[in-house]
Amino acid sequence: MAIEHLELMPEPEETRLLTAVDPDAPGYPGVAYGVSDQEARELRWPVGPMKEFLWPWGAVSFSIGTILLLISWPWIQAYIAPILPDSEWAYVNSGFREIQSDGFFGEGVHVCIVDTGIDINHIEFSGVDLVGFRDFYIEANDDVRDVGSNFHGTQMAGLMLANKTYIGAAPEVSVSIAIALGPDGSAGQIDSVASAIRWCWISQNVDIISLSLGGDPDGSTGGFESETSVAVNEALDAGVFVVAAAGNNGIDSSVNDVSTPANIERVIAVGATTRNGEVWRNSSIGSEQDPNTGELRQYPNQKPEITAPGVMIYSTVSTSIKPSYAYSSGTSDSTVLVSSALAIILEIHGDELRGDNGGIDQKAMFLVKRALANSSMNSGSSHDLKNGYGELNVVGWSENVAFELNQ
**Residues identified as active-site:** 115, 152, 332
Bridge partners for 328 per DSSP: 313
Pairing of strands 18-21, 268-273: unpaired
Name residue 159's amino acid.
L
CA distance 366 to 79: 48
Measuring CA to CA, how many Å separate 191 from each of 137, 155, 206, 226, 264? 10, 24, 20, 10, 18
CA distance 78 to 321: 11
- Cβ-based neighbour number of residue 169 at 10 Å: 28
What DSSP string describes 75-137? HHHHHHGGGS--SHHHHHHTTHHHHHTTT-S-TT-EEEEEESB--TTSGGGTT-EEEEEEESS
CA distance 122 to 33: 68
CA distance 187 to 197: 13
3-state secondary structure of 4: helix
For residue 358, give the DSSP letter: S
CA distance 362 to 266: 9
| 121 φ, ψ (degrees, to nearest 5) | -80, -5
First to last CA, the chain: 95
For residue 167, give the DSSP letter: B
Check if the beta carbon of residue 309 is closer than 8 Å to that of residue 275: yes
State the alpha helices, DSSP H only, in 147-244.
152-161, 192-198, 223-237
For residue 278, give the DSSP letter: P
CA distance 348 to 105: 10
Buried-exposed string 130-151: b where 16+ CB fall within 10 A, e elsewhere? bbbbbbbbeeeeeebbbbbebb
Q: Supply angle C-alpha 121, 125, 129, rounded to 5.
A: 110
Check if the beta carbon of residue 151 is closer than 8 Å to that of residue 318: yes
